[in-house]
Amino acid sequence: MSPRPPARRRFVAWTGAALAAACAAPHRAFAAAPPWPQRPVRLIVVYPPGGVSDGMARALAEPLAQALGVPVLIENRAGAGGSVGMDALARAAPDGHTLAFSAISPLTLHPLLAHVPYDPLRTFVPVASVMRTPVLVVGTPAFAGRSFADLVAIARSRPGAMRWATSGVATIGHMVLAQVRLQGRLDITHIPYQGGGPQLNDALSGQFELLSTNVAAQQLQYIESGRLRALAVGAPARIEALPAVPTLAELGFERANRDSLFGVFAPARTPAAVVQRLNGEINRLLGGEPLRARLRDAYNIPAAGSSEDFAMEIAADRRRNRALVAGDRAQFD
């Protein structure tokens, strides 16, 4: 038996396969594939009902159903940071009638930290990116500084004394903290929570100095009232809701300038024509004002693009995460 190729080569092979499928000649793909869709499409949302990502998946499902001419039925399959739902997708028939809406972390981060019941390199086809969710770094009433530069200065002068809360180990907020620690060679204590509600209450009462959280209306209200201080944002550019707050890249922490990228996935071996059709419909909807308004209202950023672009984003994120985990594995234990 020949030895298994290293992870990097397997990931490149997966990306190449995804690109080859996406780039297949349209007329040949349509000629080979049966008519689609033939029945309702199931969209697995890998998060619980009621959250921002669930709401955006539902906002996408309604116009997508109109475009496809069949119902798009939401099925919430939450657990293990999205891995439970992605496993359900992995077990589905590759006929275009089962899709998933997820962040890319179940493919690019979770498999680096623990066993997952699917092969993140071979099991899925990236169909279309949908949105980016920015990350805010805020100071609480316990934070003595006024800026991100003050954060760095205090952390260097008092190693371990600064406490930074996130919604859990290996969440996007934790990845931002991990990159800040690694790049700045800073000793900052991680305070992981199980979800966002308790950590926000403790932030307001000054139980720790720093918090990384998704941009949301409630957090913005506390920033406007002065109860929290916005120090930096993880996003491609400054966000409209906080134009005076610099990105982490602007502050010299480019690798920490992380956000959550969400998109639609299909099982491997889904016909290329189906992937192309879905990508085109999703991009068309993302270009329209109704869905863009829903994204803006939830403080998310549209992330339209080709399936090839999405595959390359996933590949790049996995490389970043692999380097980060290798550089400071103890942060994730």
Q: How many structural domains does the chain have?
A: 2
Question: Terminus-to-terminus CA distance in the chain, angstroms?
Answer: 33
The verdict on 228 and 283 lying in the same domain is no
Q: Residue 34: is it exposed, middle or buried by C-beta count within 10 angstroms (0-12/13-18/19+)? A: exposed
pLDDT for res 196 = 65
Supply the pTM of this predicted model. Answer: 0.84
pLDDT for res 13 = 47
Q: What is the mean pLDDT of each run of 10 residues along the chain (333 residues)?
A: 47 48 45 79 94 92 97 95 95 98 95 92 97 96 97 97 91 92 95 82 96 91 97 95 97 95 97 97 97 93 95 95 85 75
The verdict on 129 and 11 lying in the same domain is yes
Give Dmax over CA atoms of the chain in angstroms: 66
Integer CA distances (angstroms), 320 to 53, 105, 121, 232, 264, in order = 23, 12, 16, 20, 21
Residue at 2 is within a domain: no
Residue at 150 is within a domain: yes
The residue segments making up the domain with residue 245 are 135-256
Residue at 72 is within a domain: yes
The rounded distance, in Å, linking the Cα atoms of 103 and 180 is: 22
pLDDT for res 329 = 77
Looking at the DSSP bridge assignments, the partners of residue 131 are 262, 302
pLDDT for res 198 = 82
Looking at residue 146, which CATH number applies to its domain?
3.40.190.10
CA dihedral 259, 139, 242, 134 (to 10 degrees): 10
Q: Which two tokens stand for residue 196?
A: 């966002």
The verdict on 129 and 146 lying in the same domain is no
Residue at 33 is within a domain: yes
pLDDT for res 195 = 66
pLDDT for res 253 = 97
The rounded distance, in Å, linking the Cα atoms of 22 and 52 is: 29
DSSP class of 141? T
The verdict on 272 and 123 lying in the same domain is yes
Q: Residue 287: is it exposed, middle or buried by C-beta count within 10 angstroms (0-12/13-18/19+)? A: exposed
The verdict on 181 and 80 lying in the same domain is no
The verdict on 165 and 307 lying in the same domain is no
Residue at 1 is within a domain: no
pLDDT for res 331 = 76
